[in-house]
């Protein structure tokens, strides 16, 4: 499962996650960064790099943040 960036990233967009991603699958989605679900290799390198704890494996996204699964996918048309 790919990783998903959730609401704590909105308005912050610290680039630490993009700097550690080995496949460069994290993109600027306007108000926040988003992870391309087809490009993510599920390595998890971005998770500890995120200073606002906004990144989760898709299956571990908190219940109140699940709309961000669809937001990430919709941005990339998948």
Reduce the DSSP state of residue 57 to 3 states and report it: strand
Q: Among the residues of 1-78, which ranges form H helices?
A: 16-20, 46-49, 67-75
What mean pLDDT comes out for the span 27-56? 96
Q: Which domain, by its residues, includes 15?
A: 3-75
| Token pair in block for residue 38 | 């087809």
Number of domains in the chain: 1
Closest residue by Cα to residue 28 from 75, 73, 78, 65: 75
Per-residue pLDDT at 28 exceeds 70 = yes
Mean pLDDT, the chain, rounded, equals 95
Enter the pTM of the model.
Answer: 0.94
Q: What is the CATH number of the domain that holds 66?
A: 3.30.70.20
pLDDT of residue 1: 67
Find the mean pLDDT for residues 15-34. 96
Share of the chain above pLDDT 70, in %: 99
């Amino acid at each position: 499962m790919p990783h998903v960036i959730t609401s704590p990233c909105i308005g912050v967009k610290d680039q630490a996650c993009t700097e550690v991603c080995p496949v460069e699958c994290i993109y600027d989605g306007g108000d926040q960064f988003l992870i391309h679900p087809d490009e993510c290799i599920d390595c998890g390198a971005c998770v500890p790099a995120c200073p606002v704890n906004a990144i989760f494996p898709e299956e571990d996204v908190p219940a109140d943040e699940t709309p961000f699964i669809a937001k990430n996918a919709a941005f990339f048309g998948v």
